[in-house]
Amino acid sequence: MYFLKILLSVLITLSLNGCLAEELPEPRVVILGATGAGKSSLANVLLGCSPDSDDCLFEVGDGTDSCTKDTSYGVGQWLGEGANFTVVDTPGFGDSNNDDNELIDEMIHFLKDSVNSTNVFMISFNGEQDRLDSSLQQMIREIEALFGTKFWDNVILEFTHWAYDNASVQKRNFTGKTESWKLDVYNQALQEMFHTNRTLDGVFIDSYAQMPWNTGDVNQQTAFLRETSKLWNMAITAEPFEFMTIEDVLNELAFLRNENEKLNRIINEDIKDLYQRLEVAVMDISTNSFLISKNELETESSLQTINIKLEEQVDELAELKQDFNTTVDGINLSMMPIGSIIGWSGQSISKNILPLGWQLCDGSLILSGPMKNQLAPNLNSAGRFLRGGQVYDEWIYQEQMLLNHMHDVDDPSHKHTDRGHQHGFTYQGSQDHDGDNANDRTQSYTVTRSSQTDTGKADIEFAKTGISVRDAVSSQYDIGNEIRPKNMFVEYIIRIF
Ligand SMILES: Nc1nc2c(ncn2[C@@H]2O[C@H](COP(=O)(O)OP(=O)(O)OP(=O)(O)O)[C@@H](O)[C@H]2O)c(=O)[nH]1
Ligand SMILES: [Mg+2]
């Protein structure tokens, strides 16, 4: 089973080894360190291999001479079963057989060209040693000089040869040279030697925990998993560091400066162009402002003119309306034949003047038309009513008349008493003495007598009865000097032509 797992990991790695840099899976971990520190062993165990297995990707030395000669990467699953990642193994420095500068150059080129970026620079130290190897110092100095001090942001310290068997743990606890002590010592040393004041984090991964004789040791396995998990979490959360040398940065800077100058030129030209356009625009604005104010004045003047004209037209319209009404009235009135007499709500009520061709019926002289030289009927001043009549009756004035009528007299019966009266009378006469001859003479005589009448035989004069019809009109009606129904005054006018 273990063999199969290794084989699978190797196959994956082999198949991916020809990858382009940008295709290398992340996180990427670059392991740096002195020769023999255990870099290749660590790279193997991170890929799930045994630290020193022949089947491992990275060759592991015997501890005397440097083993890894070239920088190379391996791609596989984390601890042989996790997510894909990339681990980069670098040569050890400080071997008298090698030219460190040459190794560093090759390594830098490989990192730039084949790896491109990394999430973690893991600097491996042999945990059993307490000092920083001078060759390693040189390498770090080179890296710092090439990539800049920013590379410290991605650095993690890693201590190999840090066993978690009981004896080793007890020994460290006894001596006080624990993990925190180790980190303090190395951080202090690094800060003194290099341009960093960062307190770097660290992991203690003992590759030998995966040796067959240790896999049964629960403590060692627990520590191995804890420390590798810590490394994984740091790797997946770290921002990738791009392998750009100072030279690259300078080149890029020069390029950017060049670009900047180009852009500046363009911007300057654009600004110049903009200034010119701005000047034109300002002139346009000024011209437009002038035109606008001129237009405003003209508009205002036009508006005033329009208003005046409008008012004139309103007046004209009112006059036209008046004329129209007059015309309409005229038309209506002219439709009436000459001699027509109509009632008119006169000037004070109708606010209208007497239409042409009409004259008040006030008895004034008619000056034109077929009735010329006649007096207009005098209806208005005399307050006359009009009545229908025959053609020969026209214009005949009639005074008021009351129809002959009778009044019933209610006599509630009364009595006349004749208390008797005397009639005196004188009788003069002549008496012919009948004689049958001519000598008969006439004898004058006077007789005065007084006789008493019989009662009830006197004739009673009406005036003596005391009965009279006083007023013909009952007091509940208005009594006046004319007879009229209810009415309303208008002025009568007559059409004369
Ligand atoms: N006890 C112990 N031995 C280790 C550990 N890691 C590596 N070794 C041994 O240390 C020796 C060097 O290991 P390598 O992995 O080759 O070291 P390296 O850093 O790759 O060396 P170079 O490639 O020469 O730079 C080998 O004999 C390993 O077996 C460890 O964690 N504990
Ligand atoms: Mg090696």
Specify the pLDDT at position 62: 63
Instruction: List, in sequence order, every beta strand (DSSP E) within 17-173.
Output: 28-33, 72-77, 84-89, 117-118, 120-126, 155-160
Collapsed DSSP state (helix, strand, coil) of residue 286: helix
Does residue 274 sit in the same domain as residue 350? Answer: no
Q: Cα separation of 333 and 180, whole Å?
A: 127
Going edge to edge, which strands form the sheet with 202-203? 72-77, 84-89, 28-33, 120-126, 155-160, 202-203
Contact 223/209 with Cβ under 8 angstroms? yes
Collapsed DSSP state (helix, strand, coil) of residue 143: helix
Among residues 287, 305, 335, the one where a domain terminates is 335
Q: Whose CA is nearest to atom 3 of ligand 1?
A: 161
Q: Whose CA is nearest to atom 12 of ligand 1?
A: 36
Among 246, 237, 9, residue whose Cα is nearest residue 120: 237
Does residue 385 sit in the same domain as residue 292? Answer: no
Decide whether any atom of ligand 1 lies within 6 Å of the 161 Cβ.
Answer: yes
Decide whether any atom of ligand 1 lies within 6 Å of the 206 Cβ.
Answer: yes
Q: In this structure, how many other beta carbons lie within 10 angstroms of the beta carbon of residue 490? A: 14
Contact 329/357 with Cβ under 8 angstroms? no
Measure CA of the first residue to CA of the last residue in the chain; give whole Å: 140
Q: How far is the CA of 94 from the centre of ligand 2 (A)?
A: 12
Among residues 319, 335, 351, the one where a domain terminates is 335
**134-147 vs 179-193: helix axis angle to the nearest 10?**
60
Q: How far is the CA of 158 from the centre of ligand 2 (A)?
A: 15
Domain total for the chain?
A: 3
Does residue 287 sit in the same domain as residue 376? Answer: no
Strand bridging mode 28-33 / 120-126: parallel
Tens-place pLDDT, residues 393-442: 999 999 888 888 776 766 666 666 666 666 676 767 666 555 566 666 66
Q: How far is the CA of 316 from the centre of ligand 2 (A)?
A: 114
Decide whether any atom of ligand 1 lies within 6 Å of the 107 Cβ.
Answer: no
Decide whether any atom of ligand 1 lies within 6 Å of the 35 Cβ.
Answer: yes
Q: How far is the CA of 37 from the centre of ligand 2 (A)?
A: 8
**Which H/E stretch holds residue 321?**
helix 246-334
| Residue 96, domain member (yes or no) | yes
Strand bridging mode 120-126 / 155-160: parallel
| Residue 467, domain member (yes or no) | no
| Residue 444, domain member (yes or no) | no
Collapsed DSSP state (helix, strand, coil) of residue 203: strand
Q: In this structure, how many other beta carbons lie within 10 angstroms of the beta carbon of residue 339? A: 13
| Residue 268, domain member (yes or no) | yes
Q: How far is the CA of 177 from the centre of ligand 1 (A)?
A: 21
| Residue 45, domain member (yes or no) | yes
Strand bridging mode 117-118 / 155-160: unpaired
Decide whether any atom of ligand 1 lies within 6 Å of the 63 Cβ.
Answer: yes
Decide whether any atom of ligand 1 lies within 6 Å of the 92 Cβ.
Answer: yes
pTM above 0.85, yes or no: no
Does residue 35 sit in the same domain as residue 159? Answer: yes
Q: In this structure, how many other beta carbons lie within 10 angstroms of the beta carbon of residue 385? A: 10
Q: What is the CATH classification number for the domain harbouring 218? A: 3.40.50.300
Among 53, 47, 43, 54, residue whose Cα is nearest residue 9: 47
Specify the pLDDT at position 490: 94
Containing domain of residue 208, as a range? 2-244
Does residue 102 sit in the same domain as residue 71? Answer: yes
Strand bridging mode 491-495 / 341-344: antiparallel
For residue 210, give the DSSP letter: G
Q: What is the DSSP string of 25-91?
A: -SSEEEEEEBTTSSHHHHHHHHTT--TT-TT-SS----SSS----S-EEEEEEGGGTS-EEEEEE--
Tens-place pLDDT, residues 117-148: 999 999 999 999 877 878 778 878 888 887 88
| Residue 182, domain member (yes or no) | yes
Q: How far is the CA of 218 from the centre of ligand 1 (A)?
A: 23
Strand bridging mode 72-77 / 84-89: antiparallel
Ligand number with the minimum distance to the CA of 63: 1
Q: How far is CA 402 from CA 54, 73, 383, 388, 484, in A?
A: 162, 149, 18, 18, 11
Among 94, 30, 89, 103, residue whose Cα is nearest residue 66: 94
Does residue 8 sit in the same domain as residue 39? Answer: yes
Among residues 294, 316, 335, the one where a domain terminates is 335
Ligand number with the minimum distance to the CA of 58: 2
Does residue 265 sit in the same domain as residue 348? Answer: no
Q: Whose CA is nearest to atom 8 of ligand 1?
A: 38
Among 194, 188, 202, residue whose Cα is nearest residue 124: 202
Does residue 272 sit in the same domain as residue 235? Answer: no
Specify the pLDDT at position 112: 87
Does residue 124 sit in the same domain as residue 137? Answer: yes
Q: How far is the CA of 207 from the centre of ligand 1 (A)?
A: 8
Q: Cα separation of 190 and 198, whole Å?
A: 9
User: Alpha carbon 436 to chain centroid distance?
Assistant: 156
Q: Cα separation of 449 and 424, whole Å?
A: 6
Decide whether any atom of ligand 1 lies within 6 Å of the 39 Cβ.
Answer: yes
Collapsed DSSP state (helix, strand, coil) of residue 343: strand
Does residue 162 sit in the same domain as residue 123? Answer: yes
Contact 371/339 with Cβ under 8 angstroms? yes
Decide whether any atom of ligand 1 lies within 6 Å of the 48 Cβ.
Answer: no
Which atom of ligand 1 lies at the shortest distance from residue 60's CA?
Answer: 16
Does residue 348 sit in the same domain as residue 330? Answer: no
Which atom of ligand 1 lies at the shortest distance from residue 41's CA?
Answer: 15
Does residue 18 sit in the same domain as residue 63? Answer: yes
| Residue 445, domain member (yes or no) | no
Q: Which residues of the chain have pLDDT under 50?
A: 1-16
Q: Cα separation of 38 and 281, whole Å?
A: 74
User: Alpha carbon 93 to chain centroid distance?
Assistant: 72
Residues in Cβ contact with 173 at an 8 Å cutoff, skipping those fewer than 6 apart: none
Contact 66/33 with Cβ under 8 angstroms? no
Name the residue of 32, 49, 60 to mutate for ligand 1: max ligand atoms within 8 A of Cβ: 60
Decide whether any atom of ligand 1 lies within 6 Å of the 87 Cβ.
Answer: no
Give bridge partners of residue 479 from the DSSP assignment.
Answer: none
Q: How far is the CA of 392 from the centre of ligand 2 (A)?
A: 157
| Residue 421, domain member (yes or no) | no
Q: Whose CA is nearest to atom 6 of ligand 1?
A: 38
Rg (CA), the chain: 76
Q: How far is the CA of 118 from the centre of ligand 1 (A)?
A: 23
Which atom of ligand 1 lies at the shortest distance from residue 65's CA?
Answer: 24
Q: Cα separation of 138 and 33, whole Å?
A: 11
